Amino acid sequence: MKRTDTILKDCFIIDPIVFGDQRGYFFESYNKEKFDNLVGHEVNFIQDNESFSRKGVLRGLHFQKGMHAQAKLVRVTQGTVLDVALDIRQNSPTFLQHYSIKLSSENKKQLFIPRGFAHGFIVISDIAVFNYKCDNSYNKDSEGGIIFNDEQLNIDWILNPKEYIVSDKDKILPTVKELF
């Protein structure tokens, strides 16, 4: 595994070492000891989640608050998404800055998103299977979000907004100004 820093403090790209030949490929997608060494501290993932979505599905921007905050390690096992991490830690030097990356089954990149971040993605291939490890359990009462098209954030979701498929719940999330 190889770590590449992003513009956001404590948010990293993880690239696996892929071994390929005429039969296909093999790679280690997660190794706790190596991962903890790469990020510089221990992360205890306790839950794996998976979603299936079609082109244009936009999920986010979501986060968990307080003691239920979650760090995530995300990757795509089928298709391609534009993944977005937003630093919402008020004491961070990168507060309200975001980072976008294409994650795909082809590039096999993963993104580590620490606690205190909002997260979202949009599917840019016909379909996508999205996987993420979480270091804390989901808690409905600690659920939070920021509207995906907040003008202050100016996130380029790549696709034409007419192609977006957004849940009713995500369409009414608050803006940054309403939260902070």
Residue 118 confidence (pLDDT): 98
Specify the pLDDT at position 25. Answer: 94
Give the pLDDT score at 23: 94
* Tens digit of each residue's pLDDT (9 = 90 or more) over 114-172: 999 999 999 999 999 999 999 999 999 999 999 999 999 999 999 999 999 999 999 99
Fold observed for domain 2-179: Jelly Rolls (2.60.120)
Residue 33: pLDDT band with limits 50, 70, 90: very high
The domain segmentation of the chain, as residue ranges, is: 2-179
Annotated catalytic residue within 62, 98, 99, 119:
62
Using alpha carbons, list the distances in angstroms from residue 50 to 73, 76, 157: 12, 9, 21
DSSP string, 64-129: E-GGG---EEEEEEESEEEEEEEE--TTSTTTT-EEEEEEETTT--EEEE-TTEEEEEEE-SSEEE
The single residue of 98, 99, 119, 132 carrying the catalytic annotation is: 132
pLDDT at 89: 98
Q: What's the CA gap between 158 and 171, in Å, rounded?
A: 18
- pLDDT reported for residue 67: 96
pLDDT, tens only, 72-124: 999 999 999 999 999 999 999 999 999 999 999 999 999 999 999 999 999 99
Residue 58: per-residue pLDDT: 98
Order of all β-strands in the sheet with 58-64: 98-104, 80-87, 117-123, 58-64, 143-145
The pTM of the full predicted model, rounded to 2 decimals, is: 0.96
Q: What is the pLDDT of residues 13-26, one digit of tens each?
A: 999 999 999 999 99
Q: What is the pLDDT of residues 36-65, one digit of tens each?
A: 999 999 999 999 999 999 999 999 999 999
Q: Does residue 62 carry a catalytic annotation?
A: yes
